[in-house]
Structure 1
């Protein structure tokens, strides 16, 4: 829901229903989503809250995830009661009593992980969240937070796509396997670069490698890009950012893609620009 904003309740509802029709039930938002649009900070949550209020049966059909801890113009704030206040504000905007998965959006380098852990624990004990995760954390930051958290950290949310392959090598996905963390990947289409058209030689190479698989299987490049991420044994869940109902429905085609090891490594080699060692 990064681009989820506006006043059109019908259009906002249609996007949600398109996801449900496709079997997509995880809805990921954040308090800062909408900050760069006309309605500003909290806009995405507020709009989704209106959709939930207008469709009483929807809440029970989804896993509701949100994030907090960034407050413009001061980038990150999670000290003391700050993170708790962020979550409580999200609950009000979303018109719900509980968020299924609440994630720290980016690490506050001035907050001791024990402070963050205490806030998450308090929210969980109060029934305001069911589970907690982190977004854009390094493996060391995940370990530091987990050391102070009295319950299991559930998720990690890195940028990961055929264009952004760092999590394969920086320990993020390895740690997810070690700790059994659910991986939610943002920008799985490289910020849309993989479907808009090649802006540089590297993007063109990766798109061509994806197209080889797509043409063979009679599907779209986007579906193959989603499937490429999902093949990894950490089983990443791509977060679909499209605001077009048809594109949202098409995302489910990723589940139909059959990818061999040679296919997968072919895309990786295209992304690296050099053969595997």
Structure 2
């Protein structure tokens, strides 16, 4: 998480709700807020205000952000741009170092060697601790890793029962082989999986009911049971929903039910 919006007090309550629930990874991006009143960098700025108000919070979280999307270009991962973007993120987040800096999307006009050099300089300068990618194919991740002397520690694909491409395109296999952490965005399919009128949503609600939880918790658990040990990115703006997300640990799956949800989500029978 997170696309934080609105008042700092409300954002502070969400941060504390997450920490109380045992959630310590806070994932944002400089682009978050671009399509809201806060504007480009808005989500980072709000989180920065929360951290500045209570300096003890920074040491309790893993702070992750992303750069490389710059409307209306739309993508720029040139060395000069990434250096400036990271500095801007540091200022907005009011921190000296970003724990995980991710390339948000592939920029087809920048050679991966240039991206690798830029990321290396950020790490060597002490501005970034680790690097990752988002919305990258296995080939794109591999090309970038080829020019890096430090590991790409995370990849962030869209993944849910409604978007199972990472199961087939090698994303999860590569992650398991290279010990890369997987952060899944849109784990609820943009909210569609909470609709019991959807076949997958109905199955998730049924599975959740067996364990006394709702379809949201079941959907998160469906993702987490994969052997890649996927971390779903929870983006709720409601403290109660954030706390309830830990109910995902209560749900267990057998293969028949897990694959049934997958088939319902894709609308296709497995061979």
Give yes or no for contact 1:158–1:184 (8 Å, CA) kept in 2: yes
Q: Aligned partners of 2:232 and 2:78: how far apart in 1?
A: 30
**Equivalent in the alignment of 2:192:** 193
Give yes or no for contact 2:184–2:232 (8 Å, CA) kept in 1: yes
* RMSD of aligned Cα (Å): 1.1
**Equivalent in the alignment of 1:276:** 270
Instruction: Say if 2:84 is the partner of 1:55.
Output: no
Secondary structure (helix, strand or coil) at the match of 2:77 reads coil
The answer for unaligned runs of 5 or more in structure 1 is 199-203
Secondary structure (helix, strand or coil) at the match of 1:47 reads helix
Instruction: Say if 2:214 is the partner of 1:215.
Output: no
Instruction: Say if 2:234 is the partner of 1:246.
Output: no
**Equivalent in the alignment of 1:107:** 106
Instruction: Say if 2:229 is the partner of 1:230.
Output: no
TM-score norm. by structure 2 comes to 0.97
CA-CA distance at 1:172 after TM superposition: 0.9
Give yes or no for contact 1:158–1:185 (8 Å, CA) kept in 2: yes
**Equivalent in the alignment of 1:30:** 29
Give yes or no for contact 1:29–1:66 (8 Å, CA) kept in 2: yes
CA-CA distance at 1:112 after TM superposition: 0.2
Give yes or no for contact 2:161–2:266 (8 Å, CA) kept in 1: no
**Equivalent in the alignment of 2:91:** 92
CA-CA distance at 1:124 after TM superposition: 0.2
Evaluate the alpha carbon distance shift between residue 270 and residue 197 of structure 1 in structure 2; reply closer, same or farther with a 3 A threshold: closer
Secondary structure (helix, strand or coil) at the match of 1:191 reads helix
Map 1:152-171 onto structure 2 (within 5 A): 152-171=151-170
Instruction: Say if 2:261 is the partner of 1:267.
Output: yes
Q: Aligned partners of 2:61 and 2:35: how far apart in 1?
A: 26
Secondary structure (helix, strand or coil) at the match of 1:81 reads helix
**Equivalent in the alignment of 2:119:** 120
CA-CA distance at 1:272 after TM superposition: 2.8
Give yes or no for contact 1:12–1:47 (8 Å, CA) kept in 2: yes
**Equivalent in the alignment of 1:43:** 42
Secondary structure (helix, strand or coil) at the match of 2:74 reads strand
Q: Aligned partners of 1:262 and 1:55: how far apart in 2?
A: 47
**Equivalent in the alignment of 1:201:** none
Q: Aligned partners of 1:80 and 1:176: how far apart in 2?
A: 26
The answer for unaligned runs of 5 or more in structure 2 is none
Q: Deviations over 1:18-74 (max 9, x none)?
A: 000100000000000000001200000000000000011100000000000111111
**Equivalent in the alignment of 1:83:** 82
CA-CA distance at 1:75 after TM superposition: 0.6
Moved >3 Å (runs of 4+): none
Map 1:64-75 onto structure 2 (within 5 A): 64-75=63-74
Figure out how many residues of one structure are paired with residues of the other and give that number. Answer: 271
Evaluate the alpha carbon distance shift between residue 96 and residue 122 of structure 1 in structure 2; reply closer, same or farther with a 3 A threshold: same
Secondary structure (helix, strand or coil) at the match of 1:264 reads helix
Give yes or no for contact 1:2–1:34 (8 Å, CA) kept in 2: no
